[in-house]
């Protein structure tokens, strides 16, 4: 989307649309609550797919996180946006199921940009070889959930804030293999 202005959907605390805002503006000055989604992918071995956010990202760069996080476009259905971005960022598509949503707010100390999102969490299964987009992803790996949990406890600063919150919720709901 380089050269194009991206717009996010501003929402109230119950995810009702209340307007639209240019993406970078919505993440500035403390952030405005907007609709987002996060995708978690597991394989048949029970491993979870992780990506290392590219150093070129505007915020929370060079941190480990779930395979795909983004925002639906104006007028775009949430699930269609999730499939679009998964293909764009990781080069594959799979069945996705929305499992819960949550709201969070986190400011990146380095960029000073703020994520304030009503985040819809999707899960899916995939056993192929991802084809990551190098503009979005610097590295990727499959990890067993128990190993990931231990590393997040020992090194929380290596992971994005929304990833830690969503992964813990997935575990509590019994959705992690």
141-174 per-position pLDDT tens digit: 999 999 999 999 999 999 999 999 999 999 999 9
Residue 56, domain extent: 7-172
CA distance 95 to 14: 26
CA angle 52, 108, 1 (to 5 degrees): 60
Q: What is the pTM of this model?
A: 0.94
CA distance 16 to 108: 26
22-81 per-position pLDDT tens digit: 999 999 999 999 999 999 999 999 999 999 999 988 899 999 999 999 999 999 999 999
Residue 102 has a pLDDT of: 98
Residue 4 has a pLDDT of: 62
CATH number for position 92: 3.90.79.10
Tokens of residue 69, six digits = 């996080």
123 in any annotated domain: yes
125-141 per-position pLDDT tens digit: 999 999 999 999 999 99
2 in any annotated domain: no
Which residues are marked as active site? Answer: 69, 117
pLDDT greater than 70 at residue 1: no
Contacts of 147 (CB under 8 A, 6+ apart): none
CA distance 134 to 91: 11
Q: How many domains are contained in the chain?
A: 1
Residue 177 has a pLDDT of: 87
177 in any annotated domain: no
pLDDT greater than 80 at residue 3: no
Residue 170, H or E segment: helix 161-172
Residue 58 has a pLDDT of: 87
1 in any annotated domain: no
24 in any annotated domain: yes
CA distance 15 to 172: 23
Please choose, from the candidates 118, 74, 73, the residue with its C-alpha nearest in 3D space to the C-alpha of residue 98.
Answer: 118
CA distance 134 to 136: 5
CA distance 74 to 171: 32
The answer to whether the beta carbons of residues 39 and 93 sit under 8 Å apart is no
pLDDT greater than 90 at residue 115: yes
pLDDT greater than 50 at residue 2: no
């Amino acid at each position: 989307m380089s050269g194009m202005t991206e717009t996010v959907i501003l929402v109230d605390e119950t995810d009702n649309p209340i307007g639209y805002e240019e993406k970078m503006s919505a993440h500035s000055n403390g952030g405005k609550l907007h609709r987002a989604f996060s995708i978690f992918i597991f394989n048949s071995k029970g491993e979870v797919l992780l990506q290392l956010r590219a150093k070129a990202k505007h915020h929370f760069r060079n941190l480990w996180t779930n395979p795909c996080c983004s925002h639906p476009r104006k007028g775009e259905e949430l699930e269609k946006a999730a499939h679009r971005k998964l293909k764009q960022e990781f080069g594959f598509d799979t069945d996705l199921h929305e499992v819960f949503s949550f709201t969070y707010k986190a400011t990146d100390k380095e960029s000073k940009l703020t994520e304030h999102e009503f985040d819809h969490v999707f899960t899916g299964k995939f056993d192929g070889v991802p084809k990551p987009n190098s503009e979005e992803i610097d590295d990727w790996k499959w990890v067993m959930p128990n190993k990931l949990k231990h590393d997040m406890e020992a090194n929380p600063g290596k992971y994005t804030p929304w990833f830690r919150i969503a992964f813990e919720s997935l575990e509590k709901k019994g959705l992690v293999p």
